[in-house]
Amino acid sequence: MIRRLRHAALLALALSAPQAACEERIYTVPLHLEAECPGCAAGDEAACTDGEDNDRDGLTDCEDPDCAGAYLCRERGPEDTAERCADGFDNDGNGYTDCADFSCRPTAACRTEVQGPENTDETCSDGLDNDWNGHIDCGDFSCSKAPGVTVCEGNDVRCSDGIDNDGNGFTDCDDFSCSRSTQVTVCK
């Protein structure tokens, strides 16, 4: 408890220092806090994994709040809460981050505040699950099969324009959204 209080007091002192680039900082910050200046040098993250108390505040590596943003100090585990699904980090290590991770789809971070239709260019390209069915944008049949939606593959116009409209790495008739769609005639 004393360690936390001491750290909180030192942090408050550090935050009261004028905001400037690290090289230009006016040295009103105690020297033991000056050692960690996140974002000033490419090697800063190494200070969060070296087993040392680099800023001499009594906290080592990931125990130190200064290292909260370091890759190895991020909270790991299931990516299934609104907080973890909006932190820009692949918490469960499966290669998918935030709303691109299927575990995040049902969370509030990946859907709109109010449930509504997902069948316009705007709602089919906003990165959110507007109709709360667990599918986002062009991955939702409400978008991919809607005749008026032009941002997704799955119609004759988008399946013959030479562009990977849905961003999945396949263009036009090489995309299953086009070649296997009953609504697309240009790939038959």
Q: pTM, whole model, 2 decimals?
A: 0.50
pLDDT grade for 174, boundaries at 50, 70 and 90: very high
- At 155 the pLDDT is 78
- At 25 the pLDDT is 42
- Can you tell me the distance from the alpha carbon of 126 to that of 116, in angstroms, rounded to the nearest whole number? 13
Higher pLDDT residue, 136 or 2? 136
Query: With pLDDT > 90 as the criterion, what percentage of the chain qualifies?
Result: 21
pLDDT grade for 116, boundaries at 50, 70 and 90: very high
State pLDDT tens for residues 36-46.
444 434 456 77
**Nearest CA to 36 among 3, 74, 70, 87?**
70
Q: What is the mean pLDDT of residues 58-78?
A: 76
Query: With pLDDT > 70 as the criterion, what percentage of the chain qualifies?
Result: 73
Residue 12, helix vs strand vs coil: helix
- At 157 the pLDDT is 83
pLDDT grade for 68, boundaries at 50, 70 and 90: low
- Can you tell me the distance from the alpha carbon of 110 to that of 112, in angstroms, rounded to the nearest whole number? 7
To the nearest whole number, what is the mean pLDDT of the chain? 76
- At 43 the pLDDT is 54
Residue 76 · residue 93 · CB < 8 Å: yes
State pLDDT tens for residues 10-33.
445 444 444 444 444 444 444 444
Q: What's the Cα-to-Cα distance from 181 to each of 114, 144, 158, 186, rounded to whole Å?
A: 30, 10, 12, 10
